[in-house]
Amino acid sequence: MRKTIKTPEVPMDRILTLPELKSNPFRKRICHVFSTSEHKDGSLTFEDFLDLLSAFSDSATLEIKSHYAFRIFDFDDDGTLDGGDLEKLVNCLTGETDDTRLTAEEMRQLISNILEESDIDKDGTVNLSEFQHVISRSPDFVSSFKIVL
């Protein structure tokens, strides 16, 4: 069988040197979400990069941004945000230094508060619809989920 010509892929390390992504705690997840490479190494083709910019641009709708935000926050890629995903998310938000990390007790309470507020069908996870429901309450989400080159 004739091998199809592959479009060139930029490895993830190169992508992460972009100033817009360098200090972002979600940079690796962003690369993994938009990557369509078979090796699953987070490398992006040009089309993938365009998709990334399109999703983070001014003209992307709330629907698209909330969808991609959900995929970025879904660390284990199972389609829902369960306790582990939420814990990793909070750790990314609060930073890597020791004094800003929450203690285990605080984390536990935080996660159960979040689930109480946003898990409508009470299955212990936040699925896409519930996530979009929470996002729709925030007027700032669209303007903060933006990356401009």
Partner 1 sequence: MARNVNFDLSHPLMEAGLESPVDEEVVHDSFHQLIAEQSRNDGLSDAFELQRLQRDLEEEERQDDVPYLSSPGHEFRGNRPGRRDVEWYDGERHVDPIIGERWSSATLKVLSSMPSRTIGRSRGAIISQYYNRTMQLRRRRQSRPSIRDFSHSARPSIRGYGMEVDGTDAEGTEVSKRERLVNNLQNLSASDRVRMLRAMPLSVAEKSELRRLALQKEKRTITGSKIPCCSRLKYYIIIAFRQSWYSWLSFMHSLQLWQVALKRVSGRFGTGVLSYFLFLKTLLFFNVFLFLVTGSFLVLPQAVHPPELAAKRPSFSGLELLTGAGYFSDTVMYYGYYSNYTLQSCRDNVSMPNGTSMGCASKQNSYNMPLAYFFTIGVSFFITSCQSRFGQSFRIDKSHSILAVKVFCSWDFKVIKRTSVKLMSENICTQLREVNHKDANNTACQKLWRLMIHGLAWVICIGSTIGCVLGIYYFSDYMHKSIYEGLQKKTTTLLDEARLLALPVLVSLINLLLPGLFNLAAWMEDYDSPSVCAYVAIARNLMLKVSVLGVLCNHWLLNVTADSKLTCWESFVGQELYRFLLMEFIFTLLDTLFGELLWRLFSERVLKRRRKPVFDIARNVLELIYGQTLACIKPSTTCGPFRELKTMFQAGKRWVEELEKDNPNLSLLARAHSYLVENPFFLFVGAGIFLIVIYFHYQVVDGQRKIINLLQEQIENEGEDKKFLITRLQSIHEQKRTPARRLTSQDSGC
Residues of span 11-70 touching partner 1 by CB under 8 A: 19-20, 22-26, 32-33, 36, 40, 47-48, 50-51, 54-56, 59, 61, 63-64, 67-70
Scanning residues 125 to 144, which ones bind partner 1 (CB under 8 A)? 125, 127-129, 131, 134-141, 143-144
118 binds partner 1 (CB under 8 A): yes
CA–CA dist 139, 131 (Å, integer): 15
The alpha-helical segments, DSSP class H, found in the chain are 12-15, 19-22, 27-34, 46-55, 62-73, 83-94, 104-118, 128-135, 141-144
Residue burial 99-138, b: 16+ Cβ < 10 Å; e: rest: eeebeeeebeeebeebbeebbeeeeebbbeebbbeebeee
**Cβ closer to partner 1: 13 or 41?**
41
Residue with the two structure tokens 């284990």: 76
**Cβ closer to partner 1: 3 or 22?**
22
Q: Whole-number minimum distance, CB 129 to partner 1, in Å?
A: 7
**Cβ closer to partner 1: 13 or 123?**
123
Question: What is residue 44's DSSP assignment?
Answer: B
Among 10, 11, 57, 110, binds partner 1 (CB under 8 A): 110
CA–CA dist 120, 26 (Å, integer): 26
Scanning residues 68 to 97, which ones bind partner 1 (CB under 8 A)? 68-71, 73-74, 76-80, 82-84, 86, 88-90, 93-95, 97
